[in-house]
A and B are shown apart, each in its own frame.
Chain A
Amino acid sequence: MTTPRPRAVVIGSLSLFVVLFVVLTFELSANASSSAGKTQKTAKARPAPAETKTDSTPEVEEEAPSEYAEPEEPAAEYVEPEAEYIEPEPEYEEPEVEYVEPEVEEVPPVVTTSS
């Protein structure tokens, strides 16, 4: 049995590294291209990747109208007319009763002298 050369271990390790790198890159790219996979697998490994956390949400919001512009729903223009009937306030004012006590002028009795 001959002593193995270090080259075998180095080549084996590098090969394994390259294979893993390629497989993981393809896996993540496939997940990124299908939004459903992205939310399932990537989210399991990384709760909130940097680009998902910061960039993706506005991108989706910006790109969505260019691909499929959903017709805007017409705003409801019917405005219920406000009731304009104003109940007239009763304007009848009861006249204040000003009772003025008639001044009684006391006229001194006229004394007539009859002879």
Chain B
Amino acid sequence: MIESIPHTLSTQGWWIVSRSSAIVAFVLVTASVFLGLTMASKPVRKPNFAKTMRALHEQTALAALVAIGIHVLAVLADPWLKPGVAGVAIPFVLSLNRFWNGIGVIAAYMAFLLGLSFYLRQRIGARLWRQAHRATIAVYVLGLFHALGAGSDTGSLLFLAFAGVTAIPIAILFVYRLGAARRSSERQRLAARARRRAPLADTAYDTA
């Protein structure tokens, strides 16, 4: 077996790099999304906790972008697949697993756009950035389906266990986050209505 390692690396090295980087990217995206949702649901109201979570969230997101970049380059260099630049850059162009690889390309674009938009927050405005950032869950979902549909390690029990174990808390946190966002917007609407009525009440009190 040892003597066949150089042959394996020379013929399937890029494939191994693409598989390894894809798994690392999926783990990091999962961690980043989990941390982001946990942070948003505010389970612990301590400044240090929020700071730590934010730093981990950012670091895992950036590391995930690097891993996605390595995955794309390794797929591009794969001599067996030969996808070409169009195959990795344009969704649904690659003929092998066209749909699943197509959503993978979309997920990669979304990851880069939404991830790097954090550094343009002051330019685009915090409100618009926050609204766009909520779509990050789509990166995780598309990445999960891309991995299950086109991944070479889909049949691996370890991968399936990891995907299943992490998907459940993420789904619960996302539903909770949606509910929290709805409750928050309801509170803001009530507060705004109260502010609109308050000056009238003051005026009435003053005239009386």
Chain A interface (Cβ < 8 Å from any Cβ of B): 1-4, 6, 8-10, 13, 16-17, 20-21, 24-26, 28-30, 32-33, 44-46, 49-51
A25 and B16 in contact, given A1-B52, A4-B59, A49-B11 (Cβ under 8 angstroms): yes
B5 close to A3 (CB less than 8 A): no
Asked if B84 CB lies within 8 Å of chain A CBs, one says no
Contacts of B19 in A (CB 8 A): 20, 24
How many pairs of residues, A versus B, come closer than 8 Å at their CB atoms? Answer: 79
- The verdict on B4 contacting chain A, using a C-beta distance below 8 Å, is yes
Q: Is the interface of B mostly helix, strand, loop or mixed?
A: helix
B55 x A17 contact (CB < 8 A): no
15 example contacts (A-B, Cβ-Cβ < 8 A) are as follows A1-B49, A4-B55, A9-B59, A13-B63, A16-B24, A17-B20, A17-B24, A20-B23, A24-B16, A24-B19, A29-B4, A29-B8, A44-B155, A49-B12, A50-B80
Known: A3-B51, A49-B11. A21 touches B16 (CB 8 A): yes
Given known A-B contacts A1-B52, A16-B24, A17-B24, A28 and B17 have beta carbons under 8 A apart: no
Q: Which of B24, B49, B56, B60 has the most CB of A within 10 A?
A: B24
| A21–B155 CA distance with the chains assembled, in angstroms | 18
Contact residues in B for A45 (Cβ distance below 8 Å)? 152-153
Judged by DSSP, the binding face of A is helix
Q: Which chain B residue has the least Cβ–Cβ distance from A53?
A: B80
Question: With the chains together, A68 CA to B100 CA distance in Å?
Answer: 46
Closest to A8 in B: B59
A25 to B15, CA, bound (A): 10
B55 engages A46 (CB within 8 Å): no
CB distance from A33 to the nearest CB of B (A): 5
Judging by beta carbons under 8 Å apart, are A51 and B20 in contact?
no
Known: A6-B62, A25-B9. 11 other contacts (CB 8 A): A1-B48, A1-B49, A1-B52, A8-B59, A10-B63, A13-B63, A16-B24, A20-B19, A49-B11, A49-B12, A49-B80
- B23 closest partner in A (C-beta): A20
Which A residues are CB-close (under 8 A) to B51? 1, 3
Question: Are B52 and A3 in touch, CB under 8 angstroms?
Answer: yes
Q: Which of A3, A9, A29 is close to B1, meaning CB atoms less than 8 Å apart?
A: A29
Q: How many angstroms between the C-alpha atoms of A3 and B95 in the bound complex?
A: 45
- Please measure, in the bound complex, the distance between the C-alpha atom of A32 and the C-alpha atom of B27, giving whole angstroms: 28
Query: In the bound complex, do residue A3 and residue B63 qualify as a contact, i.e. CB atoms below 8 Å apart?
Result: no
B49 in contact with A32 (CB, 8 Å): no
Q: Which of A9, A21, A50, A51 has the most CB of B within 10 A?
A: A9
User: Is there contact, CB below 8 Å, between A33 and B80?
Assistant: no
21-57 of chain B: CB within 8 A of chain A: 21, 23-24, 27-28, 46, 48-49, 51-52, 55-56
Q: With a CB–CB cut-off of 8 A, which chain A residues contact B7? A: 29, 32
A33 contacts B15, CB within 8 Å? no
